[in-house]
Structure 1
Amino acid sequence: MAAKITDDAVWVTWERQTRNRSASAFFNVPLFEIIYDGSHKATRYAKSVIRTLWILFEKKPRYFFAQNPSVVLAVLAVAVGRLAGCKVIIDAHNAGIHGHEKSGRLLPKLNRFVIRQADAVIVTNQELADHVTLLRGTPIVLPDPLPHFPAVAEPERLDKANKLKALCITSWSDDEPFLDIIGATTQFSDTIDFYFSGNYKKIVDQLPPEMPTNVFLLGFVGEQDFHRHLFSSDFCIDMTRRTDCMVCGAYESIAAEKPIILSDTAVQRGYFSRGTVFSKSGRKDIAVAIETMRDNLASLKAEASELKAEIQKREAAGKATLVSRILEL
């Protein structure tokens, strides 16, 4: 492909997130992850703003890609990017379109401002693209490119019996039916162990006083440990109540050739057409989905591998068109 963005662009994010890495690599754009752990929130913002401005001053890019969230980064991008003469492209995750469930009034207003002011807004599916258009923005649809994982060693399993291992990929957010998933696990105490990733301590008061014996809360795990758990699992679970959300765990699971249980929504059915069991939220529905996964695991694993190859072909076929759209802004 003759057209490239690489030499004239930067991609900035203020968090570690798989999509930023895979999407920036897809466009061949240098990624700058600005992470200041352990600082006071105001200090982190100040340092992140200064570092972002320095990158713009130093690189003088023609194309400035920035993630929303953070909405602070997104507002900075459309404000300063214009002054710097950049084309500003916002990679908007669901919270960058709708806000969080408890975000109040200000965040949606800032999101709408960013959507209207950006030269383009990248979203994962057509439903979100239609919403961006409704808000007078310019959408570009890019599902998460499948990530590439380094070779990892499998961790020792905590169980001693010959059980299956399910990795439940969660951020313990309000849109996730994590209590229903935990409730469903009790029916599989003899056959499946469930490992939950993510910082559960922020919702510990919502958890059952006694967890099922086949549930293991990993807490926040580093990237390498997450990959080890992913590759040592037999299948994954990642669910959301948002009807227009394509969860990151789905891409990670298929990239690792692991079948997955996902929420039964049109946007996810349309993309993850194989290697997937779809379920409504609710303990009974999730239990049925887990049983279906367990009883058809071999064929679903084969389908996950087939779907990975199919998605990779789609990505390769569509790359030139998406790059051209960016270059024409």
Structure 2
Amino acid sequence: MPPTIRDDAVWVTWERQTRNRSASDYFNVPLYEVIEEGPGRASRYIRSTLRTIAIVGKQKPRYFFAQNPSIVLAVLAITLKPWRKFKVIIDAHNAGIHGPENGSRFLPRINRFVIRKADAVIVTNPELAEFITSCGGTPIILPDPLPNLERKMAPVECGGKKKIKAFCITSWSEDEPYREILEAASAFTDEVEFFFSGNHKKIRSLRTNTIPSNVHLLGFIDENAFHDHLFSADFCIDMTKRSDCMVCGAYESISAEKPVILSDTPVQRRYFSKGAVFSQNTAQDIKHAIDQMVNGLEPMRQDAVDLKKEILERETSQRAILLSQIQQL
């Protein structure tokens, strides 16, 4: 039997995020999604803090997993550590390591404080692990476990004659080349329909009247609708300007057995060794990648199926090793 920490651990997040669900399930750790909504950020933080403290008081964990971001949750975990005598394991996304692109200089300093004080920091790749070590932290490398996705809705149709469907997984953040993807999409009006997820309205400079006719801005969609667009797509696109980031959409695409276009970085090229087309973050290169995907769609689909099988086998073989690392903290 592989080692287990289920009865001694809790995993807390202050948002709904696929990585937390798949990673906590991978370690067989109970997940607590503390979701507080309503106006007033300070009020939400206070309510989330009180609920988290109540979880700790009731469960009395030996291992406390916390997502960063939220940086407030991460600092709370570090603050509670000496009082509750648990080990703190921070699951750090890129913004929980370097800070957001448009954030203050103060946030990276807090992140480094959390990295030093945590017993371990979970990251997705060796490049981020090196950074954690340089900050005085202890890294554990865990690429996103493939999520167990389920399609619950009826198929989404593009309308009109059947075209290839591309699902663009976007959050409209500064690290995403969404303008370049939009420009590239305009070259495929007769072949491909592009569906963009995420709240595009936060980009005030985005003029929807200039959007190509084959581009559909979905806005914020719930989980069921997201999964349905994912499963009904012929391929996906998820790109980033961060050189050490492994995008969540890549894991979701492969889990749904869909080939995906990704930014050409060493960390992603190494992990997604098949079922992916890699591109620089320019409109011209993205256009070339889309053309390559469209012309090789059938073998790319099979590559995505094969990669999913390989990753699942790899995850199974590595689980006991990672659990042992945590138990030795």
Query: Do they superpose with TM above 0.5?
Result: yes
Match of 2:155 in 1: 155
Instruction: Write the mapping of 1:61-210 to structure 2, written as runs, cut at 5 A.
Output: 61-207=61-207, 209-210=209-210
Equivalent residue, structure 1, for 2:58: 58
CA distance in 2, matches of 1:58, 1:44: 21
CA distance in 2, matches of 1:61, 1:39: 31
* Counterpart Cα distance in 1 of 2:127 and 2:154: 38
Q: CA deviation at 1:208?
A: 5.6
Q: Give 1:151 shift.
A: 3.6
- Aligned partners of 1:153, 1:212: CA distance in 2, in Å? 27
Residue 295 (1) aligns with residue 295 (2): yes
1:234-269 Cα shifts (integer Å, max 9, x gaps): 000000000000000000000000000000000000
Structure 1 residue 309: deviation in Å?
0.1
**CA 1:278 to 1:164, structure 2 compared with 1: closer, same or farther past 3 Å?**
same
Alpha-carbon distance between aligned partners in 2 of 1:112 and 1:251, rounded to the nearest angstrom: 27
Deviation per residue, 1:153-196 (Å, 9 max, x gap):
34332421110100000100001000000000011001100000
Deviation of 1:204 after TM superposition, in Å, equals 3.5
Amino acid in structure 2 at the alignment position of 1:160:
G
Cα deviation per residue 1:31-89 (whole Å; 9 max; x = unaligned)? 00011122311111010000000000010000000000000000000111221000000
Amino acid in the other structure paired with 1:70: S
Residues 247-304 of structure 1 deviation map (CA, whole Å, 9 limit, x = unaligned): 0000000000000000000000000000000000111000000000000000000000
Report the identity percentage. Answer: 58
Gaps of 5+ in 2: none
TM-score normalized by the length of structure 2: 0.98
Query: Contact between 1:172 and 1:178, CA under 8 Å: does it hold in 2?
Result: yes
1:145-294 counterparts in 2 under 5 A?
145-207=145-207, 209-294=209-294
CA distance in 2, matches of 1:285, 1:243: 17
TM-score computed with the length of structure 1 as normaliser: 0.98
Number of aligned residue pairs: 329
With over 3 angstroms needed to count, the CA separation of the structure-2 counterparts of 1:176 and 1:207, relative to structure 1, is farther
Does the CA-based 8 Å contact 1:68-1:95 persist in structure 2?
yes
CA RMSD of aligned residues (A): 0.9
Q: Quick one: distance in 1 between partners of 2:26 and 2:241?
A: 28
Matched residues in 2 for 1:125 and 1:99: separation? 17
CA contact (8 A) 1:179 1:207 kept: no
Shift of 1:3: 1.4
More displaced, 247-256 or 1-10?
1-10
1:209 Cα deviation (Å)?
A: 4.0
